[in-house]
Amino acid sequence: MPRRPNNSLGPLVLYHGCDKEVAESVLRGESTLQPSENDYDWLGPGIYFWVDSPERAKDWAKERRNNPSVVGSFAYPGHCLNLTDYGVMNELALAYEATKGISEAAGTALPKNSVLQKGIFMMRQLDCAVIQMVHEIRMDEGMDAYDTVYGVFEEGGLVYPGAGFKDRTHVQIAIRNPEMILGYFRVDGMT
């Protein structure tokens, strides 16, 4: 597969929802954000950020954390698996077939996306497995690893009757290579 150019999207302004204690520790330089490695993470393992949306990061943190906060970051996407690029879908289709073949050969069930809300799967076990397979195939074939995975996530209710837009749609990036993070910053009113 052809190599996608580095930094074709960057640099990006990113926001990560977390506990205030985590935010303050990162901002003081005492720790770093840790990658999420849940089997339902739709972009696979990585440090998840909302692109250009501190409000969405804050909403997420409010829903899941006792003392919600947001950390801002500047980052380059680097070598990016950009799921908004039409050409990348062939790579996902090949990874799906490999994932399916491995499941069949092992006699195990293929992971499934689950928890359907307003027509969108919120728990993305299948998508996570396919993204992980993309990375495994690249490693096995000696290809450059992706530093990040970038995509649009439709979420929420229709903005108006008959709309093609959902009210919580956002862009996220999972940073696999922490070297892509240039630095962190305090977000006014969010920590």
Q: Residue ranges per domain, the chain? A: 12-186
pLDDT score of 142: 95
Pairing relationship of beta strands 80-82 and 68-75 according to DSSP bridges = unpaired
Average pLDDT, the chain: 90
Among 83-87, 109-113, 131-135, the least confident range: 83-87
Q: State pTM to two decimals.
A: 0.90
- Parallel, antiparallel, or unpaired: how do β-strands 148-153 and 80-82 relate? parallel
pLDDT of 85 strictly over 60:
yes
Question: How confident is the model over 112-118, as a mean pLDDT?
Answer: 85
Residue closest to 173 by CA, chosen among 13, 6, 8, 5: 13
| Residue 170 β-bridge partners | 153
Answer with the residue of higher pLDDT: 64 or 130.
130
Write down the pLDDT at residue 104. 96
118 or 113, which is more confident? 113
Whole-number pLDDT of residue 4: 47
pLDDT at 2 over 50: no
User: What average pLDDT does the segment 147-172 reach?
Assistant: 90
List the structure tokens of 181: 């993070």
C-alpha 22/C-alpha 25 separation (Å) is 5
Q: What is the mean pLDDT of residues 63-78?
A: 93
Q: Is 188 helix (H, G, I), strand (E, B) or coil?
A: coil
Q: How far apart are CA 148 and CA 158, in angstroms?
A: 29
Mean per-residue pLDDT for 81-96? 91
Mean pLDDT of 3-27: 83
* Sign (positive or negative) of CA dihedral 77, 80, 86, 89: negative
Residues whose CB is less than 8 angstroms from the CB of residue 15 and which lie 6 or more positions away in sequence, other chains included:
49, 50, 52, 53, 54, 56, 57, 58, 70, 71, 72, 73, 187, 190
SS3 of residue 29 by DSSP: coil
Predicted local distance difference test score (pLDDT) of residue 105: 96
pLDDT for residue 191:
62
